[in-house]
Amino acid sequence: MRGAISFLLFLLLPSLCLAQACSFTATDMSFGAVDTLSGGAVNSTSTISVSCTGELLTQRRILICPGIGAGSGGASSAAARQMLNGASSLNYQFYSDSGRSVIWGSNNWAYSAKPPPYALSLNLLGFANGSTTVYGTVFGSQGAAAPGSYLSSFSAADTYFIYRYTSDTNCDAPSGTLATVSFAVNASVAANCLVSVENVDFGTRGVLSANVDATGSVTATCTPGTTYTISLSGGTANAAPTARKMAKGAETVTYGLYKDTNRSQPWGDAATPGSTVAGTGNGAAQILTVYGRVPAQHTPTPGTYTDTVVVTLTY
């Protein structure tokens, strides 16, 4: 009986022989919301999965060379692929290592980065499954990127997987069977603004018998096309724009803040219609001068007089 079973198994083996074939899938890489003004990079990953079949009882090694090109967004240099939103671009890159130091490229790419080798060994039944990670980074400090959704698509023309039985360990000149896969890279840029200030310092003065002028500044950095309004509060005394108060205890010095060098256009908030400053961002720092004036007035006792004005940027 044992001999009959062995004979039947031997007869069945030829019908189970599998041809060498590999199939691939890739997940989309989504960076989510990217703050292009903060200066920080944003990381994400994609997973390439592979399933291979081959000859039974051989445990042969399959070398896979997964090349990824520039995608529909193109590349600005060897260091930066691009996602697009109309005419606006967002720079990013693929890497083969978690430290994001080795660029993942293609033998068909215009730049020198090569595809990283990936190997699988078939089990005794002629099957092998595996996956590898594509590491991505959107670079920081891309203030010129307009708000909106960004995309780069990778079709069969941008990706290839060349695989074959071999003991080779590199993909410098890959050969074998060709397969392709499609996936996409996406991110969104929201309208955003940053604001910083330079104080108005009137310095050390004696008798306040004439105007004392000084300047400070408000710097607005907003994404391109983002409209904004800047208002200045009435200070600790919640006073009108030209009647703010610097104080030392119960004593005060009256001063005003203005939008123009002639000190004729007060700079205030919504409580004083027409006194705020409006602008439109271009991705770069926009410096707005604050013109201060202490008018001639009764001189209080010597000392340091201060006030705190809240700067509000609305966009």
**Residue of 182, 199, 299, 307 whose CA lies nearest to 243:** 307
Q: 61 exposed, middle or buried (CB, 10 Å; 0-12, 13-18, 19+)?
A: middle
Q: What is the pLDDT of residue 9?
A: 35
Query: Quick one: which H or E segment has residue 65?
Result: strand 61-68
CATH of domain 193-314: 2.60.40.1090
Question: HEC profile for 73-113?
Answer: CCEEECCEEEEEECCEEEEEEEECCCCCCCECCCCCCCCCC
Q: 290 exposed, middle or buried (CB, 10 Å; 0-12, 13-18, 19+)?
A: buried
CATH topology of domain 16-189: Immunoglobulin-like (2.60.40)
Q: What is the pLDDT of residue 117?
A: 95
Whole-model pTM? 0.84
Q: Which residues of the chain fall below pLDDT 50? A: 1-17
Q: What is the pLDDT of residue 174?
A: 87
Q: What is the pLDDT of residues 240-256, one digit of tens each?
A: 999 999 999 999 999 99
Query: Start-end ranges of CATH 2.60.40.1090 in the chain?
Result: 16-189, 193-314
